[in-house]
């Protein structure tokens, strides 16, 4: 990728290769599985690590004090300047990758948005104090709004929002924004009753991806068949499985296999979907544990093979979760001290604390033609030895991932525990 346009590698985020980013993403997937397991009946889940990172970087760039220190540790950065540099490079890469090539072609869209309550407005460009002698005047630091929201993240900014007086109207506006940004996949992002008199800021990122399988890796609907899928609780359900006679890139490891299916190439991007299939019907928990520990570059250095049998289930599901609660064990920052937000907004007197919420909703569809996926992440801040012929039969729980090969960015990740849901 053209480094003048912005290279993810040049930002310093990928020192050590894809492994660190992959491990962090796999760790989030493992935590989501733990949450689902505790609920008693695990369901399909998905997340967009990239969308979460975008909201966290957008937020971190405006913090200070102990909250900034916590965020820097969580994001693996040394300073706010490093956050700004990484954010700019990340957005440059996404700007290069983004396209809208037509309804039936590959599409990648990304937008950021912020809604700000009228009682804690964004700090705009500072004006020089004319009462000071010229020799005492200090160069003005660009405001958070100018430097971060506008210049780097190109945010849709909605200021002077009435969270209290017009909460229903604001919810409708945010949900309409999410619906448009996700091409209609993400509906009802924010439920009524979430915004109230304590609400101050609402940050959001929306990602939409539509990828058609590469011409040499298409699936024919005529070949799709009904077979059994075996769940973690020992049940078997009927599911529609895609199959193909094409050659694919695949590799066997000790306890699982990895399969790559490329999408049609773009001018500035090369996307692929990876399937991580445990050998055992009950192997998904151990797989997630292994991948979140010390992932290897070999996971993506695959060999082209012709399968004796290839079966992948179609799936279509949505998933939403509390990001902050899920990542709490991973030292997710506690953002409660209002003064640490004073570079971003004007804090009213008598508002000592903020309460932090962060949520994500993901929709993903995989069929014979390709993949359609969307994610919206929101963060609101209320003021308070193998044979020559290999088989890949995904008839039990597995993990998937959508990655852009040149940048190493992981756009979506998740697990299918029951494709019939």
Domain ranges of the chain: 17-212+316-382, 215-313+386-416
Nearest in space to 13 (alpha carbons), one of 92, 66, 70, 67: 92
pLDDT at 197: 65
- Residue 355's pLDDT band (boundaries 50, 70, 90)? low
Task: Tell which wins on pLDDT, 12 or 204.
Answer: 204
Domain boundaries 17-212+316-382, corresponding CATH code: 3.30.497.10
Return d(Cα 20, Cα 285) in angstroms, integer.
20
pLDDT, tens only, 233-264:
889 999 999 998 888 999 999 899 999 999 98
Instruction: Encode pLDDT of 276-324 as tens digits.
Output: 999 999 999 999 988 887 767 778 889 998 888 899 999 999 998 888 7
Least confident of 317-321, 336-340, 372-376: 336-340
330 dihedral zone (left: phi>0; alpha: psi -120 to 50; beta) = alpha
CATH fold of 215-313+386-416: Alpha-1-antitrypsin; domain 1 (2.30.39)
- Minimal CA–CA distance to 162: which of 120, 124, 133? 120
Paired tokens of 387: 């044979």
| Rounded Cα–Cα distance for residues 75 and 53 (Å) | 8
Q: Is the pLDDT of residue 345 over 70?
A: yes
**Is the Cβ–Cβ distance between 363 and 318 less than 8 Å?**
yes
Mean pLDDT of 352-360: 66
Angle between helical axes of 80-97 and 49-60 (0-180°, round to 10): 140
Task: Look at residues 368, 215, 300 and name the one whose alpha carbon lies nearest to residue 19.
Answer: 300
pTM for the structure as a whole: 0.86
Average pLDDT score over residue span 108-133: 73
């Amino acid at each position: 990728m053209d480094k003048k346009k912005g290279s993810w590698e040049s930002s310093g985020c990928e020192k050590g290769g894809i492994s660190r980013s992959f491990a962090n993403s796999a760790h989030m997937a493992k935590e989501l599985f733990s949450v689902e397991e505790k609920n008693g009946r695990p369901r399909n889940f998905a997340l967009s690590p990239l969308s979460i990172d975008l909201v966290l970087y957008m937020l971190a760039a405006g913090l200070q004090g102990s909250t900034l220190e916590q965020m820097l540790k969580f994001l693996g950065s040394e300073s706010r300047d490093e956050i700004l540099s990484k954010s700019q490079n990340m957005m440059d890469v996404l700007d290069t990758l983004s396209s809208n090539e037509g309804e039936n072609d590959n599409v990648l869209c990304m937008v950021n948005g912020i809604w700000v309550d009228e009682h804690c407005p964004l700090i705009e460009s500072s004006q020089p104090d004319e009462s000071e002698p010229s020799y005492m005047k200090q160069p003005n630091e660009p405001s958070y709004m100018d430097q971060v929201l506008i210049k780097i993240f190109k945010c849709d900014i909605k200021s002077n929002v009435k969270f209290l007086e017009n909460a229903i109207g604001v919810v409708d506006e945010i949900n309409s924004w999410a619906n448009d940004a996700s091409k209609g996949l993400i509906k009802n992002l924010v439920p009524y009753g979430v915004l109230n008199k304590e609400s101050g800021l609402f940050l959001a990122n929306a990602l939409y991806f539509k990828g058609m399988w590469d011409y040499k890796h298409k699936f024919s609907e005529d070949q799709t068949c009904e077979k059994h899928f075996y769940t973690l609780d020992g049940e078997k359900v009927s599911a529609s499985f895609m199959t193909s006679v094409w050659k694919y890139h695949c590799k066997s490891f000790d306890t699982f296999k990895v399969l790559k299916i490329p999408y049609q190439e773009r001018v500035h991007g090369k996307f692929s979907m990876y399937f991580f299939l445990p050998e055992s019907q009950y192997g998904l928990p151990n797989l997630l544990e292994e991948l979140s520990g010390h992932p290897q570059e070999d996971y993506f250095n695959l060999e082209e093979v012709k399968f004796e049998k290839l079966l992948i289930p179609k799936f279509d599901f949505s998933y939403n979760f509390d990001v902050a609660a899920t990542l709490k064990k991973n030292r997710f920052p506690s953002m409660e001290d209002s003064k640490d937000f004073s570079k971003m907004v004007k804090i009213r007197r008598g508002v000592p604390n903020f309460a932090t919420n962060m949520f994500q909703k993901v929709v993903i569809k995989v069929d014979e033609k390709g993949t359609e996926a969307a994610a919206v992440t929101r963060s609101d801040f209320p003021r308070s030895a193998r044979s020559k012929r290999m088989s890949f039969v995904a008839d039990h729980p597995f993990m998937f991932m959508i990655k852009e090969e040149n940048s190493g960015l992981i756009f979506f990740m998740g697990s299918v525990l029951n494709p019939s849901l």
